[in-house]
Structure 1
Amino acid sequence: MIVFLKEFWLFGLKQAYACMFGGFLLAVMLLTSIWYPIELIHRYDFIFLAAIVFQLLLLAFRFETPREALVIVIFHIVATVMELFKTSDAIGSWAYPEEYIFGIGNVPLFTGFMYSAVGSYIARIWRLFDFQFSVYPARRHTLLLVALIYINFFAHHFVWDIRWLLLAATFWLFWPTRIYFCVTHTHRNMPILLGWLLVALFIWIAENLATYANIWIYPNQQETWEMVPLAKLSSWYLLMLLSFVLVTLVNKVKLREACVPELDQKL
């Protein structure tokens, strides 16, 4: 029991450590929605500048590696392109209701960091838990799948939405795959599909908090705030898969090896 409690405690600490950037960003969003006294800087611009400063501090104090910072840059670019499309006047999937200076079109620049926080989490948790895999699909298959997922985020506004086919392809491709993670000295494992679902659920919860804080709003939230439908989980699940595969471009997919516990002493 003592061993279990110690491992559970370290698991929580490592998860919190990996969520450092995303947790900071969400905290700034929520706090500034309650109290924001700076009149010279728009709140969205303050969030953008705060994210940059925090990112530089993570690098300066070596809480984040240059490779993990590269993941953030990649996600920022990919996300901003999608945001520009989704928030365009012709599409209007969601909107950012407040003013800003640092932005492109209808998109304030801090939005890229929201997606980057997911990539940052995956890259860091990968290192902390010494991720290993069994029966992992070929890279060409995973890249093709996430390319179709990304295209469908745009194309479903004009042609048939194939997200359910993409989800079925995801289950078919990754059903045998198990992810192994090491908390202390022993690798535990779980189906990778279940792991993605759990993370997607936490993202959905964070999305509800962010929309409540007026960071962005959906058309049905313009008059009064409503909870984001649970059906949105399908989008976050696919985004989770897209994020994970993008991280594999900078993090090597390792098959089963001996566990190398990292940062146990620091935590």
Structure 2
Amino acid sequence: MTATNTLLQPGLLQRLDTLLMVTAPAPQLTGIRRFAVEFLMFGIKEARACLFAGLFFVSIFVTPRDGLWGIPRYDLLLLIAIAIQAWMLWTKLETTDEFKAICLFHVVGFALEVFKTSGTIQSWSYPDFAYTKLFGVPLFSGFMYAAVGSYIIQAWRILDVRIEHHPPYWMATLVALAIYANFFTHHYIGDYRWYIAALAIGLYARATVIYRPFDRDRKMPMILSFILIGFFIWLAENISTFFAVWHYPNQIGAWSTVHLGKWSSWTLLVIMTFTIVASLKHIRDTIYIPK
């Protein structure tokens, strides 16, 4: 059996995950050495959490614009996304519950895509032909939103994330619903994202993310983590539009940088996605963990 085939076996990668998450205390590490080790481990864990997103977006960059083997590009991306998802389930890198949550993100994202690309809105478009387009939107597009959900779910587990001073779940849910609704309603009754953002900042002002890059807990303000994740998604969006996966109206003639305002939209989407993940975990723990 080759090394590659061995690496792909179910259970092996899960054991590697366990090794990544369980680290012995290292009190001998101090100063710059500790910083370097923790920074390296944080990067490795972040890369692992981005496994689905990373593989999926790499496939976007390497897939030819005119497709492959007679398969249109968008259809090929759908097949690749399904294959990655199936592989992660088979190798136990993703649990069934995590897969169900990711399916929810796919549906939520696809519904938004259908609205945003509709004839009356046309916020962006998918110009290429595909057999797997529904309402003018290629089915692979939902996986881009699922990738964000997958990252948050995986990072939560791998970095042993805990939330200190999490706001009441019903309040967080209302803000998340307002964020999602505003993506639709701002075309008709005005854009209230900054009012919603102010609510979110107030709601999560005391919230802190506790995470473990190596052998010690570290902390970060919850709002800062939202902003940073939103920024990296905005960067990925710039790369995707550069490779002509989709176009904004101002990019049809020639590519240009995605408007910086999209960073705020992605940050709000991250808040919404985080709320879904946190609420599902809260519901699961309430139901299954005895008091």
Relative to the length of structure 2, the TM-score reads 0.84
Is 1:91 the counterpart of 2:124? The answer is no
Is 1:73 the counterpart of 2:103? The answer is yes
1:97-176 counterparts in 2 under 5 A? 97-176=127-206
**Paired residue for 2:43, among 12, 35, 57?**
12
**Kept in 1: contact 2:77–2:140 (CA 8 A):** yes
Larger Rg: 2
1:246-261 counterparts in 2 under 5 A? 246-252=276-282
**Kept in 1: contact 2:179–2:268 (CA 8 A):** yes
**Aligned-partner residue type, residue 58 of structure 2:** A
User: SS at 2:244's partner residue?
Assistant: coil
**Aligned-partner residue type, residue 52 of structure 2:** F
User: SS at 2:122's partner residue?
Assistant: coil
**Kept in 2: contact 1:68–1:123 (CA 8 A):** yes
Select the structure that is richer in helix.
2
Question: What is the aligned residue count?
Answer: 252
**Aligned-partner residue type, residue 217 of structure 2:** H
Q: For the aligned residues, what is the CA RMSD?
A: 1.3
1:179-198 counterparts in 2 under 5 A? 179-198=209-228
**Aligned-partner residue type, residue 202 of structure 2:** W
* Misfit runs of 4+, over 6 Å: none
Structure 2 partner of 1:60: 90
Structure 1 partner of 2:245: 215
Structure 1 partner of 2:81: 51
Q: Distance in 2 between matches of 1:23 and 1:94?
A: 23
**Kept in 1: contact 2:67–2:73 (CA 8 A):** no
**Kept in 2: contact 1:178–1:191 (CA 8 A):** yes
- Identity of aligned pairs, percent? 38
Cα shift readout 1:5-31 (whole Å, capped 9, x = no counterpart): 222111111100000111111111111
User: SS at 1:248's partner residue?
Assistant: helix
**Aligned-partner residue type, residue 199 of structure 1:** I
**Kept in 1: contact 2:67–2:76 (CA 8 A):** no
Cα deviation for residue 33 of structure 1 reads 4.1
Structure 2 partner of 1:32: 63
**Kept in 2: contact 1:33–1:213 (CA 8 A):** no
Cα deviation for residue 135 of structure 1 reads 1.3
User: SS at 1:179's partner residue?
Assistant: strand
Structure 2 partner of 1:203: 233
Q: Distance in 2 between matches of 1:249 and 1:176?
A: 18
Q: Distance in 1 between matches of 2:68 and 2:79?
A: 13
Cα deviation for residue 50 of structure 1 reads 0.5
Q: Distance in 2 between matches of 1:194 and 1:73?
A: 27
